[in-house]
Amino acid sequence: MGSRMPAAQGRLAQGGTRDDGIGRRMIVVMVLSCLAFLARRVELLLLLTGINAVAIFWLHRGPLSLRREMRTFAWQTAIILGLHLFRFRTMAGLWLGFKVSWQLFLALLPGMVFARTASQSGIVRVLTRVMPGRAAFVLSTCMRFIPRLLGEIKNIYEGQVLRGARILPRDLVRPWHWADLLHCVVVPAVVQGMALAGHIALAARARGFERFPRRTCWPGE
């Protein structure tokens, strides 16, 4: 630690920034996500999956457990397959749905892994190069906390299903059940989002955020 500090201070004194290659990683993530939307054929999707595996190894600098991401993929695939089955009622429709789910997963996976593995201060520092500091803080903080909020919304959803709310995918194909979704999931989710925003704001203020016009501290350096 002691030997690293002077070098880091020296770089900062020379006007350099320490983002641990986060800017480069961010560009790679964006490119991979864009490629996922462009890949329509199975061969391309397979190729992109391989590239993603290599990129994830590089993003994390080592092997990484993807259990949480795979759960998200399974959940998303179930919903998309349900909707496609309702729309097309054929095996071809189901295969189309699976490909769409695969594509979506490949589009979101690099961003999810990046948000998990990159330090928040690094993300903010990169974003402040292209947008105002406050907006960069808001965007990076929300990106960091969105998986947590999604997890809480999932808990709300499961709780409401157990209570008998008609919000399962097969119920939601009937528009008159959408009111249940609004009352049982959307409203509590908004309340949860506001509460989480309040807690984060309180924590940030307690750490002196916005006390000075320019940011004075970058944690992790």
Partner 1 sequence: MARRIFKPRWQLPHLSLKDALFIGFCALFAVLVRVFFRIKLRISGRSMLPTVFFLMLARGSVSYPFAAIFAGLLAGSAAMFVGFAKQGPMVLLQYFLVAAVIDGLALLLPGRFRHPVWSGLTGALAGFSKFFSDYARNFLIGMDATVNLQLSLIEGAGAALFGLLAGLLLPVVLRRLRAYGVIV
**Cα separation of 162 and 156, whole Å?**
10
**Stretch of 43-51, 58-66, 157-165, 187-195 contacting partner 1, by CB under 8 A:** 187-195
Instruction: Answer yes or no: are the C-beta atoms of 100 and 149 closer than 8 Å.
Output: no
Could you say which DSSP state residue 145 is in? H
For partner 1, which is the closer residue by CB, 71 or 205? 205
Residue 215 dihedral angles phi and psi, to the nearest 5°: -65, 135
Write down the residue that tokens 């989480």 correspond to: 196
Q: Is residue 83 at the binding interface for partner 1, with CB under 8 A as the rule?
A: yes
Tell the smallest beta-carbon distance from residue 126 to partner 1 (Å).
Answer: 11
Q: Is residue 34 at the binding interface for partner 1, with CB under 8 A as the rule?
A: yes
Instruction: Answer yes or no: are the C-beta atoms of 159 and 185 closer than 8 Å.
Output: no
**Cα separation of 178 and 193, whole Å?**
20
Tell the smallest beta-carbon distance from residue 128 to partner 1 (Å).
Answer: 12
Q: Is residue 70 at the binding interface for partner 1, with CB under 8 A as the rule?
A: no
**Cα separation of 9 and 4, whole Å?**
9
Kindly list the distances between the CA atom of residue 11 and the CA atoms of 16, 19, 215, 218, in Å, as whole numbers in the listed order.
5, 12, 18, 14
Closest CA relative to residue 97, chosen from 113, 111, 80: 80
User: Which residue in 80, 118, 126, 167 binds partner 1 (CB under 8 A)?
Assistant: 80
Q: Is residue 87 at the binding interface for partner 1, with CB under 8 A as the rule?
A: yes
For partner 1, which is the closer residue by CB, 5 or 74? 74
Interacting residues with partner 1 between 142 and 181 (CB under 8 A): 142-143, 145-146, 149, 178-179
Q: Which residues bind partner 1 (CB under 8 A)?
A: 26, 29-30, 33-34, 36-38, 76, 80, 83-84, 87, 96-97, 100, 104, 107-108, 111, 131, 134-135, 138-139, 141-143, 145-146, 149, 178-179, 182-183, 186-187, 190-191, 193-194, 196-198, 200-202, 204-205, 209-210
